[in-house]
Amino acid sequence: MKLSIITVNRNNREGLIQTVESVLGQTWRDFEYIVIDGASTDGSAEYLKEKSAEFSYWVSEPDRGCYHAMNKGIEKATGEYLLFLNSGDYLADNTILEKVQIQLTGEGIIYGDLIYFYRNTKKVLKTFRDELDIVYLYDNYIPHPSAFIKRGLFETVGLYNEKDRITSDWQFFMKAIFEFRTDYKHINLAVSVYDVTGISSDPANIKMINREKEDFVRNNPWVLNDDFFHSINEARSILSHLADSRIIKLITSLGFLNYLRKYISRIK
């Protein structure tokens, strides 16, 4: 089996239906589909029971959160690659897996682009870099709903951290790429549509995201030992001090920096 698709859900029946229909409507169907529901009380479990013949495995039972549910899905998966498509997210069109499956060429992580769906307003395409460095990934991310992850990586790197609520997939990618040096590949294809009403997109959770990232760095000293990361952090610190400097503030208030930019642009 080349691919396992894992959907986790809790009390999001409408989003679950959207996700399931996008998966079952694919033109390429050589995959197993696993759904882990967290004992929903909104009719999700009843919907899954109606569709049970379409799933390789499904369960509705209490769990300890989103990442615990994902880990339960990983333990049941038998595919070479895993795709996590949580309830509310859906594949960009019904030919996506047909296009992607020929791109699953052995790299540890293969990721495409992502479409942000702003409920009842608009869709925005987010593209990602071909080449990743630790500074870029610290400030950004690999799009989880558009990432195909080798099943064996979870044995090498470990399962998702169930202690944190938002950044555990980011933590996994950081460890896989920069600590365990797995290979990766970006494909220029919008794979999935991401529902921005999720917890990680809520501005109110920015403090939690930052705290979880800071804890991750504190508990993984290899991040700070990376020469590139260390150099960039030093540069950031210098720029931060300069920004607070009275002299720089005075120069800025006098418009000198704008004059200097214009002068440089004329002599290029």
Taking CA atoms, 124 is separated from 117, 127, 174, 188, in Å, by 7, 10, 25, 15
For 167-221, how does the pLDDT look when each residue is reduced to its tens digit (9 = 90+)?
999 999 999 999 999 999 999 999 999 988 755 556 678 889 999 998 999 899 8
pLDDT of residue 231: 56
117 or 105, which is more confident: 105
Give the SS3 label for residue 114: strand
pLDDT of residue 268: 43
Average model confidence (pLDDT) across the chain: 87
Give the SS3 label for residue 32: strand
pLDDT of residue 84: 98
For 224-258, how does the pLDDT look when each residue is reduced to its tens digit (9 = 90+)?
776 555 555 555 554 555 555 555 555 455 555 55
Q: How far is 57 from 191, CA to CA, in rounded Å?
A: 23
For 3-25, how does the pLDDT look when each residue is reduced to its tens digit (9 = 90+)?
999 999 999 999 999 999 999 99
pLDDT of residue 81: 98
What one-character-per-residue DSSP string does 147-202 give?
A: EEEETTHHHHT-S--SS-SSSHHHHHHHIIIIIS---EEEEEEEEEEEETTSGGG-
Q: Provide the sign of the torsion angle of the four alpha carbons 12, 18, 19, 20, taken in this order.
A: positive
For 77-92, how does the pLDDT look when each residue is reduced to its tens digit (9 = 90+)?
999 999 999 999 999 9
Q: How far apart are the first and last CA of the chain?
A: 57
The domain defined by 3-223 folds into Spore Coat Polysaccharide Biosynthesis Protein SpsA; Chain A (3.90.550)
Q: Where are the domains of the chain?
A: 3-223, 227-267
% of the chain with per-residue pLDDT over 90: 70
For the chain, the C-alpha Rg in angstroms (whole number) is 21
pTM for the whole structure: 0.83
